[in-house]
Amino acid sequence: MDMIRKGRVWKFGDDISTDYLSPSFTLDEPWEVTKKKVLHIHDVFTRECREGDIIVAGENFGCGSSRESAAVNLKRLGIGCVVADSIARIFFRNCMAVGFPVMICKGITEAVAEGEILEVDFESSAIINQTQSKKLTGGRLHPDLLNILKSGGILESLNQ
Amino acid sequence: MSMTIAEKVLARASGKPEVKPGEFITAEIDTLMVADMSFYDSFVLLEEKGHAKIWDPDRVVVIMDHQYPAQNAVQAEKHRKIRKWVKQQGIRHFYDGGVGICHQVMVEKGHVLPGHLIPGGDSHTTTYGALAAASCGIGHSDIAYVMATGSLWFMVPGTIKFVLNGVLPTGTSAKDIILKIAGDYLVNVAQYKSVEFTGPVASALSIDDRMTICNMGVEIGAKFAMFPCDEKTIDYLEKRTKDSINPIQSDTGAVYEKVYEIDFSTLEPQVACPHNVDNVKPVTEVEGIAVQQAFIGSCTNARVEDLERAASILKGRQTHPETRLIVIPASREVYLNVSESGVLQTLLEAGAMLCPPTCGPCGGLNNGILANGESAIASTNRNFKGRMGNPESSIYLASPETVAASAVEGKITDPRKYL
């Protein structure tokens, strides 16, 4: 997996729950239907997000249910990564488990505006706001978690 | 070294004399809980990876409750496959639909023991902390990993403590305590932490009530939410298990990252307003908001005491003609108890409709999806937009007492006037 993610930023607030990332009313739907409802609380995100875009969010991103589809949906949409002030525990686990990179960085919401270009390096934890030429440092992932991410998820690490 | 309950459990499970917050460990799992949807998804993954052999079928408990009874052919087909796999793998602890909601069944059937490490395929797995277990939700890839290996990585959490002081006033119960904590300290107060509840109010609470609080531990971000093992824990378990009980408590001198002392003597009934669990107000501030649906159910608040409290308000009264009341007892055992005691009859006479003991409309999966513009008051755990199946509806969370009183008046109502 590519450990450096670069893309255009979409901003979200605090407490973005799994009921928004993977609504119950999409659980039995085909992907073509589901993908239009991921983060349905945002006016234009579902219509306009592009491969490689990055989500920057506030506190407690991914709170709520243990449904892994919350992480999988972002991965399938092609979102490069999530950087948030804080990330809810089960969602964090699930992102590692499915090989979707997320980083915790206190203060990220204040440091980044929607539409700016961000480069996030998961090896070094460096976050570069290319639009503002500003550098931040996020929380470092434990080497074992980095390995899980690199291999593409926890079950891939099982096969190694 | 002195350790908290979480540290003791994770040290034992990882074969170490001690562990410290922040440490990354691999722990052996005591018991794995999987509900219908998570079992299906994780077993499909295991088959794909060629690992379709469960490490120890006696330590996996499979419970059908989320999408049950099947609402369509797709779900029915999943259930058929689950039953086939359960047989194939030799899983003895399989509870097909009708036994109850997974967390209730786990506790009732003696699968939860103090000091055990029990991950589960549902976020409200934190419920088992009511019996001093270290339990938490995980997703289906992690479940598949546990099913294959019997182990899982954990980050040792710091522990915070809520000391519940005072005496709980009449008309309030466990739900009001946890909603008050969510409202005052917000939904990430316990993020990635283990939480312990102690103090005179905590000691006085029944196991049913402790389950309500631990259940919603995840709503304040907790990894584990626990009450230390005491006489009540042991009394409850002696009827349900033959296994030896480890009376686990934190050591004197254990290190807490934070201790919150809260006096509940003046607590009022609490309501979490749309669309977040920490948007909490005393019922007196939101009285009068019309509700088209009232729901007493879910793993949070549908046990015997919850239904008794609701019945004490509904006895001799009728639900409002423009408000439907759905009641879903948490398990067959609860159903039998309240049917024997007459509580069920009281609820039915008041106009309640009953559904099978499953998750019901709590997660928007069945039996009570809301229409556009409707509001519900529910004894459940989450009120995110769309949680009950429709993003154009609103959900208020409250105790069974407040839900019952609101069902009578058709609007949010302070239950204390009916006591």
User: What tens-digit pLDDT sequence spans chain B (419 residues)?
Assistant: 899 999 999 999 999 999 999 999 999 999 999 999 999 999 999 999 988 899 999 999 999 999 999 999 999 999 999 999 999 999 999 999 999 999 999 999 999 999 999 999 999 999 999 999 999 999 999 999 999 999 999 999 999 999 999 999 999 999 999 999 999 999 999 999 999 999 999 999 999 999 999 999 999 999 999 999 999 999 999 999 999 999 999 999 999 999 999 999 999 999 999 999 999 999 999 999 999 999 999 999 999 999 999 999 999 999 999 999 999 999 999 999 999 999 999 999 999 999 999 999 999 988 999 999 999 999 999 999 999 999 999 999 999 999 999 999 999 999 999 98
Nearest to B45 among A17, A88, A155 (CB): A155
Type of residue at B211: M
What is the total count of domains within chain B?
2
Sheet of B134-137, strands arranged across: B94-95, B60-63, B32-35, B117-120, B134-137
Q: Which of B237, B261, B285 is the last residue of a domain?
A: B261
Pair (B242, B284) in one structural domain: no
SS3 B300: coil
Chain B: nearest CA to A130, how far in angstroms?
30
pLDDT band at A133 (very low <50, low <70, confident <90, very high): very high
Do B217 and B350 lie in one domain? The reply is no
Answer yes or no: is the ipTM higher than 0.95. Answer: yes
B387 touches chain A (CB under 8 A): yes
What number of other Cβ atoms are within 10 A of residue B24's Cβ?
A: 14
The tokens describing B17, both together, are 């004399």
Based on the domain organization, do B251 and B303 belong to the same domain?
no
- Percent of chain B, pLDDT > 70? 100
Inspect the interface and report whether the beta carbons of B221 and A159 lie closer than 8 Å: no
Is the CB of A154 less than 8 angstroms away from the CB of B138?
Answer: no
B87 and B144 share a domain? Answer: yes
Task: Identify which of B79, B142, B129 has the alpha carbon closest to the alpha carbon of residue B103.
Answer: B129
Same domain, B185 and B56: yes
d(CA B116, CA B336): 29
Rounded (to 5) percent helix, strand, coil in chain A: 30, 20, 45
- Please state, in angstroms and as integers, the Cα–Cα distance from residue B270 to each residue in B174, B278, B280, B287, B305, following that order: 10, 11, 7, 11, 18
Same domain, B230 and B338: no
Q: CA B112, B193, B178, B390 torsion: positive or negative?
A: negative
Which residues, 6+ apart, have CB-to-CB distance to B237 below 8 Å?
B110, B113, B114, B131, B245
Whether residue B119 has a cis bond before it, omega within 30° of 0: no
Model confidence at A118: pLDDT above 90: yes
Q: How far apart are CA B376 and CA B384, in angstroms?
A: 12
B245 and B331, same domain (yes or no): no
- Name the domain boundary from B233, B261, B289: B261
Work out whether strand B24-28 and strand B224-226 pair parallel, antiparallel, or are unpaired: unpaired
CATH of the domain at B127: 3.30.499.10
pLDDT value, residue A158:
76
Q: Which pLDDT score is estimated for A160?
A: 58
> Does any CB of chain B come closer than 8 Å to the CB of residue A89?
yes
Report all structural domains of chain A as residue ranges with CATH numbers, in order of start.
Answer: 4-158 (3.20.19.10)
Q: Is B169 on the interface with A (CB under 8 A)?
A: no
Q: pLDDT by residue (tens digit) across B201-211?
A: 999 999 999 99
The reply to whether B233 and B353 lie within a common domain is: no
Specify whether B346 is located in the same domain as B255. Answer: no
Any B CB within 8 A of A94 CB: yes
Whether residues A19 and B384 touch (CB distance < 8 A) is answered with: yes
Do B12 and B79 belong to one domain?
yes
Disruptive mutation site among B43, B44, B123, B358 for chain A (greatest number of A CBs within 10 Å): B123
Residues 53..72 of A with a Cβ closer than 8 Å to B: which? Answer: 59-60, 63-68, 71
Measured CA distances, B2 to B10, B250, B252, B404 (Å): 14, 8, 7, 45
Task: Residue B145: name the closest of B81, B37, B51, B62 by CA.
Answer: B51
> How far apart, in Å, are the Cα atoms of B169 and each of B176, B268, B327, B416?
11, 8, 25, 10
- Give the domain range for residue B115: 5-261
> Could you say which of B261, B296, B316 is where a domain stops?
B261
Alpha carbon of A61: minimum distance to chain B alpha carbons (Å): 10
